[in-house]
């Protein structure tokens, strides 16, 4: 049975088609939906060249139809048995992948106030896929689900229970599929049961978060009510004093929407130095650019602060795991994050770390710690789509 995994954004749909052994049969992307000129790329496994279509894609329904057509043209999709959807926010409601029916759809809609920037697009993806392929089970896999078992001291903010209860104000955590996936891969690599391990997983992509995992369970994570809290990200500020928001509203005359856009789209690395691509920032810093150097310094400092805090939360530590675009590729960031952390038992071997890119390593896992490091330092290629495909199969009872 094949599984199609969809990740629907506000103007794009990313997809991967998996075969019955979870081998990738096709991947692709439809973007600039609703804009003057749409763009779609379909890569069929085994084909020499990707198929590229430049045509207007007026809405998500046409975007999904484009995907179905491309798969059919490649002779794929006949054995499609389920569609797995990435859904960013499951609130406190959803703790596991869930087969979608009208009632579930309603409950996902009810989470929109918690994730106004993400859930509406995910919902649109579900709606168009259901309309075009009503006979297939559609499964929602939530970014929040892995963190659903956070203990109260980790998920509660220090505000009244009425605010928590009435308005859902608590830590939910995100990137759960990625943290869960790399934790499993780390345990396999260490050849130890996940249930025994204390891990800190660093998902450093454009969005970034860190999770403390004890015995396979998320016990603390840096993103909160929304993906805005925690680490410095490409365009998001991460942690700041909540009073900054009132200050900007009162003193700078900004509206709540303007502050939201500032903190989500124009802060983090791009706010500090004008770029959000870490490769560009690294090369600017290497050329002596002070703003780029400061951006890198703030970025690394924040990660180190969390590493120390999460080591204390766990009380023990077997491995630190680096993943996503920056974690998998930026050896300089890994080196700086782990520098002078002997007190936590962490020591990286520069010769092993230099130039390591997770996707280029056999099995997608590389160990870069020094021989005498008490804690393993692993670079792991994440694969959220595969994890969503697997969880989709579990939800429909195929695993």
- Give the binding site for ligand ADP (CB under 6 A): 205-207, 234, 277-279, 324-326, 329-330
In the complex with ligand ADP, the residue whose CB is nearer, 73 or 283, is 283
- Output the smallest distance, CB 234 to ligand ADP, in A: 6
In the bound state, the residue with its beta carbon closest to ligand ADP is: 325
- Output the smallest distance, CB 281 to ligand ADP, in A: 8
Could you give the CA distance from residue 97 to residue 316 in angstroms, rounded to a whole number?
30
- Output the smallest distance, CB 254 to ligand ADP, in A: 26
Q: Indicate if 166 belongs to the active site.
A: no
- Output the smallest distance, CB 196 to ligand ADP, in A: 29
Active-site pick, 143, 214, 318, 383:
143
In the complex with ligand ADP, the residue whose CB is nearer, 146 or 155, is 146
Could you give the CA distance from residue 113 to residue 99 in angstroms, rounded to a whole number?
22
In the complex with ligand ADP, the residue whose CB is nearer, 187 or 204, is 204
In the complex with ligand ADP, the residue whose CB is nearer, 207 or 271, is 207
In the complex with ligand ADP, the residue whose CB is nearer, 281 or 396, is 281
- Output the smallest distance, CB 331 to ligand ADP, in A: 8
| Residues designated as active site | 143
């Amino acid at each position: 049975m094949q599984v199609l995994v969809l990740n629907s954004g506000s103007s794009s749909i990313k997809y991967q088609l998996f075969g019955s052994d979870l081998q990738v049969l096709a991947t692709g992307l439809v973007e600039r939906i609703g804009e003057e000129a749409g763009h779609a790329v379909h890569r069929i496994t085994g084909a020499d060249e990707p198929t590229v279509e430049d045509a207007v894609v007026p809405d998500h329904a046409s975007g999904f139809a484009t995907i179905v057509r491309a798969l059919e043209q490649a002779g794929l999709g006949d054995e499609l048995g389920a569609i797995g959807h990435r859904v960013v926010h499951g609130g406190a409601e959803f703790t596991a992948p869930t087969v979608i029916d009208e009632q579930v759809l309603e409950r996902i809609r009810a989470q929109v106030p918690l994730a106004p920037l993400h859930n509406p697009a995910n919902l649109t993806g579900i709606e168009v896929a259901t309309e075009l392929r009503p006979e297939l089970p559609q499964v929602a896999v939530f970014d929040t689900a892995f963190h659903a078992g956070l203990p109260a001291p980790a998920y509660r903010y220090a505000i009244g229970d009425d605010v928590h209860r009435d308005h859902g104000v608590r830590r939910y955590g995100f990137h759960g599929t990625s943290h869960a996936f790399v934790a499993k891969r780390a345990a396999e690599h260490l050849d130890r049961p996940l249930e025994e391990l204390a891990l800190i997983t660093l998902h450093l992509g454009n969005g970034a978060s860190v999770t403390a995992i004890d015995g396979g369970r998320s016990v603390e994570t840096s993103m909160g009510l929304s993906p805005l809290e925690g680490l410095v990200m490409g365009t998001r500020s991460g942690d700041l004093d909540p009073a900054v928001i009132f200050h900007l509203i009162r003193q700078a005359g900004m509206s709540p929407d303007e502050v939201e856009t500032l903190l989500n789209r124009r802060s983090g690395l791009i706010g500090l130095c004008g770029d959000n691509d870490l490769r560009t920032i690294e090369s600017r810093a290497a050329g002596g650019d002070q703003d780029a150097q400061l951006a890198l310094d703030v970025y690394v400092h924040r990660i180190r602060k969390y590493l120390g805090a999460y080591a204390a939360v766990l009380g023990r530590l077997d491995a630190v795991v680096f993943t996503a675009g920056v974690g998998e590729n930026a050896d300089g960031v890994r080196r700086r994050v782990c520098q002078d952390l002997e007190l936590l038992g962490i020591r990286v071997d520069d010769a092993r770390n230099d130039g390591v890119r997770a996707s280029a390593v056999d099995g997608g896992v590389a160990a870069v710690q020094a021989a005498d490091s008490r804690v393993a330092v692993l670079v792991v290629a994440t694969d959220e789509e595969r994890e969503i495909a697997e969880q989709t199969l579990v939800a429909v009872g195929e695993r």
